[in-house]
Amino acid sequence: MTAVSPAADICAAVGALAAARSVTVLCHIQPDADTIGSGLALALVLHRRGVPVCVSFAEPAELPEAMRSLPGIEFLVPAADVPREVDLLVTVDCGSAGRLGALADRLPGAGTVLVLDHHVSNTRFGTLNVIDVGADSTTSLVAGILREWGEPIDRDVAHCLYAGLVTDTGCFRWGGPASHRLADELLSTGIDGRGITRALMDTHPFAWLAMLSRVLGSARLAPQAAHGSGLVYTFVHRADRADLGSEEVESVIDIIRTTGEAAVAAVFKEARAVAGLWSVSLRSRDSAVGADDGVDVARVAAGLGGGGHRFAAGYTTRGTEDELIAALLAGLERD
Ligand SMILES: [Mn+2]
């Protein structure tokens, strides 16, 4: 986790942004507040400079409810409306072109592709790649670019950046000193940090409780998995998620991963529209804070066709429950 992006990369990114005559910003599929916050912050700044800009993501069709109060939402366009050709295409928080979903087909029509990301598994699919694996969020990286660019972080931009920061640090549970300094800078613009956190992380519909009771009640513990470190896992079936948004489904891993008897946690989430298609969230943690012995789930996920960070990663797969769990157990044994 060293390889902090050289300052030269940041300068090149600033050069590309400052020179662009038109910009498309693409966020990853199943967007979270880090990718959307990064995209909207860039859009707000580019618009302020008079540059035509749009922001989009391939799926789902609608932005999750929790993110609809973010400033700059007016720059979001449906995937079908994203221009085929653009001067500069920026991807935010996407570890690979696959994370763009159907919008990956816009890459060839761009004069320059600028990849801004903090995933260790990033495939560097851009013309310019600014990958800072030391950044706790992509919005932190965007903040660094704005600083270098000399573009002020006003209240609306700060709101977007804070949204990604608070989400990707788990409400600052695993935020480093730089994240706390950035939070100080952003909150000093007068944004309502408490309100932003409440909207993004602390609000769920009543139906969430029933889903949780089914999904948590059927969780399994495999103490021998991952060379004896232990695995806890559960499945969220299509029927479980019927009336719920993706943010409710994504919240399950944050409860599962607190299990003390397991160093690795997994949540298998069946696609809403396709039976037997699963996206899998993986989390790991050290045996004690600072022990630095946690399983590298980015490597495990990469072996199964996905990617991510050392302690948080994911992949997409197909199969029966038995097949899914067998493949994951084998992947954990290999690591
Ligand atoms: Mn992120």
- Per-residue pLDDT tens for 170-215? 999 989 999 999 999 999 999 999 999 999 999 999 999 999 999 9
Cβ–Cβ under 8 Å, residues 166 and 193:
yes
What average pLDDT does the segment 156-175 reach?
96
Q: What is the largest CA-CA distance in the chain?
A: 58
Say whether pLDDT at 5 is over 80: no
Domains and CATH numbers, the chain: 6-201 (3.90.1640.10), 207-334 (3.10.310.30)
Q: What is the pTM of this model?
A: 0.89
Give the distance (Å) from ligand 1 centre to CA of residue 322. Answer: 31
Cβ–Cβ under 8 Å, residues 246 and 289:
no
Closest among 81, 89, 80, 87 to 39, alpha carbons compared: 89
Cβ–Cβ under 8 Å, residues 120 and 133:
yes
Query: DSSP 3-state assignment of 57?
Result: coil
Distance CA 309, CA 314 (A): 9
Q: What are phi and psi of 86, to 5 degrees?
A: -155, 155
- Give the pairing type, strands 23-27 and 53-56: parallel
Q: How many CB atoms lie within 10 A of CB 235?
A: 21
Give the distance (Å) from ligand 1 centre to CA of residue 168. Answer: 6
Give the distance (Å) from ligand 1 centre to CA of residue 173. Answer: 15
Give the distance (Å) from ligand 1 centre to CA of residue 313. Answer: 11
- Per-residue pLDDT tens for 87-146? 999 999 999 999 999 999 999 999 999 999 999 989 999 999 999 999 999 999 999 999
Q: If you search the block for the tokens 């959307």, which residue do you land on?
A: 36
**Length, in residues, of the chain:** 335
Give the distance (Å) from ligand 1 centre to CA of residue 118. Answer: 7
Give the distance (Å) from ligand 1 centre to CA of residue 142. Answer: 11
Give the distance (Å) from ligand 1 centre to CA of residue 96. Answer: 13
Give the distance (Å) from ligand 1 centre to CA of residue 224. Answer: 31
Query: DSSP 3-state assignment of 25?
Result: strand
Distance CA 203, CA 298 (A): 29
Cβ–Cβ under 8 Å, residues 231 and 222:
yes
Give the distance (Å) from ligand 1 centre to CA of residue 137. Answer: 5
Which stretches within the chain are classed as H helix? 7-19, 33-48, 138-149, 155-168, 177-187, 193-201, 207-217, 225-228, 246-250, 252-256, 297-303, 321-334
Give the distance (Å) from ligand 1 centre to CA of residue 283. Answer: 14
The per-residue pLDDT for 6 is 67
Give the distance (Å) from ligand 1 centre to CA of residue 161. Answer: 11
Neighbours of ion ligand 1 (CB under 5 A): 34, 93, 138, 168
Give the distance (Å) from ligand 1 centre to CA of residue 162. Answer: 12
The per-residue pLDDT for 3 is 45
Give the distance (Å) from ligand 1 centre to CA of residue 93. Answer: 5
Give the distance (Å) from ligand 1 centre to CA of residue 172. Answer: 14
What residues contact 312, with CB distance under 8 A and at least 6 apart?
281, 282, 283, 297
Q: Which of the two residues, 273 and 57, has the higher pLDDT score?
A: 57
Give the distance (Å) from ligand 1 centre to CA of residue 92. Answer: 8
How are the residues of the chain apportioned to helix, strand and coil, as percentages rounded to the nearest 5?
A: 45, 20, 40
The per-residue pLDDT for 2 is 39
Q: How many CB atoms lie within 10 A of CB 145?
A: 23
